[in-house]
Amino acid sequence: MKVVKLEDIIGTDQEVDDGNWVSRRLILKQDNMGYSVHDTIIRAGTETHIWYKNHLETVYCIEGEGEVETLSDNKIHPISADTVYALDQHDDHMLRATKDMRMICVFNPPLSGREVHDENGVYPVDDD
């Protein structure tokens, strides 16, 4: 069994700050669970283009508010505490925070831990 405390991740290489967001990577590919789990803060007033071509993601908002706009249909989905959304179609989207949002994110396949979005909002595939 593995036990991870958020306080033990903050300030380590498993905390990645990309400007609009900071992601604390709790469970990673190396843990051999078949998914990864992240505690992520999306900063208020930011807009981030994301397109996970290589991953599926489920997001549970536990604090804050904002919206997700799916770019294929320009539909806006309000997001607030106690809301889950699943990017089950590799959805190209914009994520906007009106208040800091704290999100619990699960990725399949799992992330290795140091990923940041490329110019298209994509995380690369970890082929190892």
Q: What value does the mean pLDDT of the chain take?
A: 91
* Domain extents in the chain: 6-108
Assign 3-state DSSP to the chain and report helix, strand, coil percentages, each to 5: 5, 50, 45
pLDDT of residue 123: 65
Is the pLDDT score of 38 beyond 70? yes
Please give the CATH architecture assigned to the domain spanning 6-108.
Sandwich (2.60)
Confidence of residue 112 (pLDDT cuts 50, 70, 90): confident
Is the pLDDT score of 1 beyond 60? yes
Element (H, E) at 111: none
Measured in whole angstroms, how far is the alpha carbon of residue 34 from the centre of its chain? Answer: 16
Give the residue carrying structure tokens 């007033």.
45
Residue 44 near residue 99, CB atoms below 8 Å: yes
Is the pLDDT score of 24 beyond 70? yes
pLDDT of residue 54: 85
Give the mean model confidence (pLDDT) for residues 107-117. 78
Is the pLDDT score of 121 beyond 60? no
This prediction has a pTM of 0.88
Per-residue pLDDT of 40-94, as tens digits, reads 999 999 999 999 888 899 999 999 999 999 999 999 999 999 999 999 999 999 9
Provide the CB-side half-sphere exposure for 56 (13 A, CA): 7
